[in-house]
């Protein structure tokens, strides 16, 4: 199953907080835990961020990775390393897209 990331909203991921997301890079298969979902969406745009925590090693580069989740399926995300602490390395993905208005919604009478 493939998740159409261009149709997701924050709630799609919020239901899966603290669950494992698998991703693979050239050298290894890693598990990241979804630790935070922040929703800043409004009537005109979908805007949310996902914060994942993974192991300190190997650190992942900023790029698009193929993700897989037991319930959500497969999808690609661009992640950026944003922080590290004693618990692991943290990566953020941001989803931002305009909400399409119905035809004629912006026309004036």
Measured in degrees and rounded to the nearest 5, phi and psi for residue 64 equal -85, 135
Q: What is the pLDDT of residues 3-15, one digit of tens each?
A: 998 889 999 999 9
**Residue 85 has which token pair?**
């602490």
Does 60 map to a domain? yes
What's the pLDDT score for residue 109? Answer: 45
Residue at 103 is within a domain: no
pTM of the model: 0.88
Residue 104 lies in a domain: no
**107, part of any domain:** no
Check: CB of residue 41 under 8 Å from CB of residue 10.
Answer: yes
* pLDDT score of 103: 62
Cα dist from 14 to 9, 23, 43, 75, 82, whole Å: 9, 19, 19, 16, 20
CA distance 9 to 7: 7
- Please give the DSSP secondary-structure letter assigned to residue 13: H
Express each pLDDT in 34-87 by its tens digit. Answer: 999 999 999 999 999 999 999 998 889 999 999 999 999 999 999 999 999 999
- Each residue of 34-44: pLDDT tens digit? 999 999 999 99
Residue from 41, 33, 32 nearest 10 by CA = 41
pLDDT in tens, 88-105: 999 999 999 998 876 655
pLDDT at 106 over 60: no
What is the domain range of residue 58?
Answer: 5-98
Residue 105 counted as domain residue? no
Going by C-beta distance under 8 Å and a sequence separation of 6 or more, which residues neighbour residue 12? Answer: 3, 72
Q: Is the residue at 106 inside a domain?
A: no
């Amino acid at each position: 199953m493939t998740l159409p990331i261009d149709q997701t909203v924050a709630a799609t991921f919020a239901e899966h907080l603290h669950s494992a997301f698998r991703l693979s890079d050239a050298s290894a298969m890693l598990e990241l835990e979804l630790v935070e979902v922040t929703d800043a969406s409004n009537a005109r745009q979908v805007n949310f961020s996902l914060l994942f925590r993974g192991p300190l090693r190997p650190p992942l580069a900023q790029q698009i990775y193929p993700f897989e989740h037991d319930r959500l399926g497969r999808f690609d995300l661009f992640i950026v390393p944003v922080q590290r602490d004693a618990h692991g390395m943290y990566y953020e993905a941001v989803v931002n897209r305009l909400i399409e208005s119905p035809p004629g919604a912006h026309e004036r009478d």
